[in-house]
Chains A and B, each alone.
Chain A
Amino acid sequence: MAQQSIFDAIVVGSGASGGWAAKVLTEGGMGVLMLEAGPHRVPARDFTEHVRSYEVPFRGLGDRHRLAAEQPVQSLCYACDEYSSHFFVNDHENPYTTAEGRPFTWIRGRQVGGKTYCWARESYRFSDHEFGAASRDGIGEDWPFDYAEIAPYYDKVESFIGVSGNRDGLPQFPDGQFLPPMRMSCGEILARNVIEARFGRKLLIDRVANLTAPLDGRTPCHYCDACQRGCFTQSYFNSPAFTIAAAAATGRLTLISDAVVSHVNTDDRGRATGVHYIDRLTREHRDLSARVVVLAASTIESTRIMLHSRSAAHPAGIANGSGVLGHYHMDHFTIPQATGTLPLLTKAERDPVGRPCATVMPRYQNLETADRRFLRGYRYDLWAGQEHFEHAFHTPGFGGAFKRAVRTRVPTRVTMGAQGECLPRFENHVRLDAAVVDAWGIPAVHVDAAYGDHERAQARAMADDVSEMVHAMGAEDMSDAKPEPSTFGLNIHEVGTARMGKDPRTSVLNRFNQAHEVKNLFVTDGACFPSQGPYEPTLTIMAVTVRASEYLLEEYRRGNLT
C-alpha cells in the first residue's frame, strides 16, 4: 500500500498547521499523506464536555496519583484535568531534558487534531508592530513580509474556522472577518468602564474561534463552558472537524495515525525524499516517499525531526547550514494574577454561566511613544464573574448560616493577568540530547531557555499596572499580581527554532516557509516565527500555513520542487 506509492506531499502533523496544509494542497489537486504521531479521537468515548463533576470519581480534581505517575509535566497545564488528560501525552513515553536551573515545561498533545481539541481558541491578528518589530527597536529580525501581505490569508482562515469578535478599530489590533462577538459579564462591564475612565485603555471581548452563528452547516456554540474537553457540535475550531474533514472530502488525503516520525530521508544531493516513521503501537519502522515534505508537527517537534535528519549533505541536521536551527526559541510569559471580588456585584442570583472566553486589553506600550522601562509590550487578560462554589472556601463558619451565605451572597470575582513578549535570543535553544531517547528510540530534545532582564522588566511593569487597575475597580479581598515570569513553556505558545528570514545565513526558512537549503522541504508551524509579539500564535500559524501552502502548490505545478 502506502510504501509502494510516491505521494505528492507528506504532511507531518495534524494540528492547526498540518490540517491547513493538507486542506490547501489536496484542494489544489495534490495527493497528500498526513502522518500523525497519536491516535484518532472518538467523540463518543473521548469528548467529555457535558460530563458533570459528580460523574467522575475525583469530582474534577483528578487522580493525583495517576497524574503524578504518568503526566507530572502535562498536569501542570490548566486544561489537563480529570476530564481531558487523555488529550495530553504520557510524560514517560515522551521525555525531554532541560538545562540546570533553566526549567522548561513542554505541554504536548499527540492525536489526530493535535492540540486543537484543547486550545484556548483566542485568535488575534498580528499587526506591523509585530511583523516589523526589529526595525523599530533593532532587536532580532523582521518577519519577511508585512501585514498587508498576510492580511488576505488571515481573511481566509477566519472565514473558514469562524472567529467571534468585535470590530474595535484599533490599528495595533487589526479587525478581521468576525462572527458576532460574545458578551461581557456585569463585572467586565464595570472593569471596562473603570479602565477606560481612569486609564484611557480599552478592554475588549476576546476574539475566539467559537461559532456564535451557524457556519457551513455547523451549529453555533451552546455555551457549556468546557471547550478543552471536546465539542460534540463542532462549534469551535479543531482540525479534525474542519480542515482535515475538508481535505478528506477531496478524496486525495491519506491519513496514517500512530505514526511517530523520526527523520526526513534525503537523497545524495540533500533533497527530501520522504520520511522515516515508527508505528506507535507495533514499533515497526517504515519509510514513505513523497516529492515534497511539509513539517507541521509543532514547534519543537518539527525542529527535533530536522535536527535528527542528518546525512552527508546535512551533517548538522537538515537545512541547518546556517547553524540557526534550534535557536531563537520563544514562549510568552505570564505573571501570577491580581484577583479580588467586586463588592458592588455580590448578590443572591446566579448569573448565567458558560461563555467560553474572557476579555483582552491589547498591547498599548511602545506603539507611538517609547516606554523607557522595556522593549516591545504585553497584553492583559481579565475575567470577571461568579465562580461555581469557590467562594464557599472564603465564607466563615459552618451550619445553616454558612450554607445560606454560600447560596445567597455570591460574589463576583475579578482576575487580571498579563502576557508578554519574549525577545528572540540565540542562546535560548533546543538541541538533541545524546543520552535520552523516547519510547520509540528517537533522541529526546534538550531545552535550554530562560527569560532575561527584558522579560523581568516587563513583568515588573505588568504587575504594577495590573494591581493598580484591579484596585481602581474597588476590588476587595485582593491579592496583588506578582512580578514573577512564569516557567518557560508553560504558556504553550512556544515558537521559533527554525525561523523565517530573507538571509540564508541567519534563518532556516525563506519567506514562504521553504527551507533555504532544501527546496522541497517546508516548515509551517510555530517554529517559523522570527518574533512572537504578545498575542496567541495559532491564528498566525494558520495564516502563514495557507500562504506557504499556496506557494508550494504553485511551485509544484511549475515543476520547481522536483
Chain B
Amino acid sequence: MSGEARGLSRREAIARLLGAGIVTTAGVDLLEAFAAPAAGPYRPRFFEDADLRLVATVASRIIPSDETPGAREARVEEWIDFFTAASEDARQTLYRGGLARLEGLCREHHGKGFLALEGRLQDEALTSLAQSSPEFFEAIKGDTIVGFYTSEIGLRELNWGGQMFHSECPGCTHPEHLEAPRDVRPSGRPQAP
C-alpha cells in the first residue's frame, strides 16, 4: 500500500498527461526503433521536419537554456515526437491543430511564422496561445516537462537522487523539526507548544 501512498501516482501522472487518452499505435515497432536509433540526425516519426523544428522551439521557450541547459540540450522535441507518434488519434489531432493555430496566430499578428519571430514575440505568441488554446498549450507544456525532467540533463537540473546508491536512509536530520513545531495552525504558521 505504501508504494501507492507515495506522492502523485504514475496513473495520475499519465492521466494528467493524456487526459482520458490512451496511446494506441504500433508501440512495439516504435520501441525497437527508439532503442536503437540510426546514426545521423534524428528522423521524426510523427511530425514533418518543419513541425519538429516548431515543437523544438516552443519547448525551448517553455524550458529555456540559461544558466543551466534546457529543453534544447535535452532534445525534448524527440521525446514529444516519439510520444505523440505512439498516442491516440485525438492527441495527434490536438497537436496538428494546435501547431497550425500557433502558426496562424503569428502570421495574423506579425505576418510571419513562429520560427521567424524573435524570442520576445515568440513568448507573446505562446501567452496568447495559452489563452486561446489552453488544452493544446497544457499538452505541449506537460510533454515538455516530462521530456525535460526525465532526461539525464533534467535529472541533474533537479539534483534528483532516485535509482542511485545511498549509504544511509534518507530522512529528517533537522533538530528544529524534531523539537518543534508541536502544532501548526491552518495558516501554516508554527504555534508555540
Contacts and interface: CB of A to CB of B under 8 A. Distances in A.
Contacts of A472: 184, 186
A388 B35 CA distance: 24
Contact of B8 (A206, A357, A387): A387
Contacts of B169: 182-183, 212, 221, 223, 354-355
Interface string B34-51: 110000000000000000
Given A57-B35, A350-B159, A383-B6, 12 more contacts: A198-B183, A332-B1, A352-B166, A352-B170, A353-B162, A383-B7, A385-B6, A389-B154, A390-B13, A392-B149, A400-B64, A416-B5
A399 B61 contact: yes
Tier of interface size on chain A? 35 or more
Nearest to A474: B188
A392 B145 contact: yes
A63 B27 CA distance: 6
B118 interface: no
A226 B163 contact: yes
Nearest to B30: A57
Given A186-B177, A353-B160, A393 B142 contact: yes
Q: Which 3 A-B pairs have the closest CB atoms?
A: A183-B171, A352-B170, A64-B23
A389 B149 CA distance: 7
A62 to B, nearest CB: 8
B101 interface: no
Contacts of B79: 59
A409 B11 CA distance: 25
B136 interface: no
| Max count, chain B CB within 10 A of own CB: residue among A334, A353, A403, A491 | A403
A269 interface: no
Given A65-B86, A66-B27, A403 B34 contact: no
7 contacts: A53-B150, A53-B155, A183-B172, A185-B172, A186-B174, A226-B163, A353-B161
Contact of A382 (B5, B27, B158, B168): B5
Contact of A337 (B5, B150, B154): B5
A122 interface: yes
Interface in A343-402: 343-344, 350-355, 357-358, 360, 381-383, 385, 387-390, 392-393, 398-400, 402
A354 B170 contact: yes
Given A61-B17, A344-B188, A390-B13, A407 B2 contact: no
B1 A381 contact: yes
Contacts of B142: 393
Chain B contact-residue range equals: 35 or more
A229 to B, nearest CB: 9
Contacts of A474: 184-189
Given A388-B162, A399-B61, A59 B141 contact: no
A71 interface: no
Nearest to A410: B158
Interface of A: 49-54, 57-66, 68, 76, 78-79, 81, 120, 122, 182-186, 188-190, 193-194, 197-198, 206, 208, 212, 221-226, 228, 332, 334, 337, 339, 342-344, 350-355, 357-358, 360, 381-383, 385, 387-390, 392-393, 398-400, 402-403, 406-407, 410, 413, 415-417, 419, 471-474, 476, 491, 536
Q: Which of A54, A197, A350, A383 has the most B CB atoms < 10 Å from its CB?
A: A54
B2 A473 contact: no
Given A390-B13, A474-B187, A193 B181 contact: yes
B63 A403 contact: yes
B121 to A, nearest CB: 13
A60 B181 contact: no
B7 A387 contact: yes
Contacts of A352: 161, 166, 170-171
Nearest to B167: A222
A197 B2 CA distance: 24
Given A66-B28, A353-B161, A403-B63, A358 B151 contact: no
A476 B3 contact: no
Contacts of A413: 7-8
A392 B146 CA distance: 9
Given A59-B79, A388-B149, A351 B170 contact: yes
Contacts of A337: 5
Contacts of A351: 170
B53 interface: no
Nearest to A382: B5
A217 B164 CA distance: 22
A491 B5 CA distance: 12
A416 to B, nearest CB: 8
B174 to A, nearest CB: 6
A60 B151 CA distance: 11
Contacts of A122: 1-2
A64 B157 contact: no
Contacts of A402: 62-63
Contacts of A206: 2
A120 B62 contact: no
A79 B185 contact: no
A252 B158 CA distance: 52
